Structure 1
Amino acid sequence: MLRLLAFLVPLAILWFFFPIFREFWWLAAIFAALIGTSISMLFLRRPLTEASAAIVERREARASTGQEDADAEDAVVDGESETRADETRDEK
């Protein structure tokens, strides 16, 4: 929401206070995007860092859960292969 505002406010200022940008709306959009990006990088760094940290934590949680499942499956498969190997030894 704040990032959208960082784009829309400069866009509105460019349109209302600089008449040339009413004709070249695409140029106003480019300048507003550059200004919005700059504002976002300067003033909205903390929310970006917090969001990134939350994403990393969720991915690590999913990876550890997936690894536990994989380990359990490997244990079951290894147990079955050992049982089969014992059965073939008994048959010989």
Structure 2
Amino acid sequence: MNARSAVVYSVLRLLAFLVPFGLMMLFPIMREYYLLSAIFAALIGLSLSMLLLRRPLDDVASGLAERRARRRSGEREDADAEDSAS
């Protein structure tokens, strides 16, 4: 897995939450209800990430799938070597 793609995706997801939360904190009424602001920011961040961050998510997911496939093929080779040795 490419660590860079995972870091980029994580930073973008974090920004998708922090920017709306920061904007809502500019309003005096939302400062009193910071928990409600956090919930709204989470919903906005989720929506933005679903719409705008598909490509970084696909990069991370494909990297994880490749890593898992390599690990499984390595396990199969080890099992085959053990079977042939006995």
TM over 0.5: yes
Bigger Rg, which one: 1
Q: Spell out, residue by residue over 1:18-38, the C-alpha distance to the aligned partner (whole angstroms, 9 max, x if none).
A: 322100100000000000110
Listed as ranges, the gaps of 5+ residues in structure 2 are 1-10
Mapping of residues 3-82 of structure 1, within 5 Å: 3-16=13-26, 18-77=27-86
Identity of aligned residues (%): 58
Instruction: Tell me which stretches of 4 or more aligned residues in structure 1 moved more than 6 Å.
Output: none
Q: Spell out, residue by residue over 1:1-60, the C-alpha distance to the aligned partner (whole angstroms, 9 max, x if none).
A: 1111110110011110x3221001000000000001101110000000111001000100
Structural RMSD (CA): 0.7
- Tell me how many residue pairs correspond in the alignment: 76
Amino acid in structure 2 at the alignment position of 1:76: A
| SS class of match (2:60) | helix
How high is the TM-score relative to the length of structure 1? 0.80
Distance 2:52 2:81 in 1: 47
Alignment partner, residue 4 of structure 2 = none
Listed as ranges, the gaps of 5+ residues in structure 1 are 78-92
Distance 1:6 1:69 in 2: 43
Alignment partner, residue 89 of structure 1 = none
How high is the TM-score relative to the length of structure 2? 0.85
The structure, 1 or 2, with the larger RCO (C-alpha pairs under 8 Å, 6+ apart) is: 2
| SS class of match (2:73) | helix
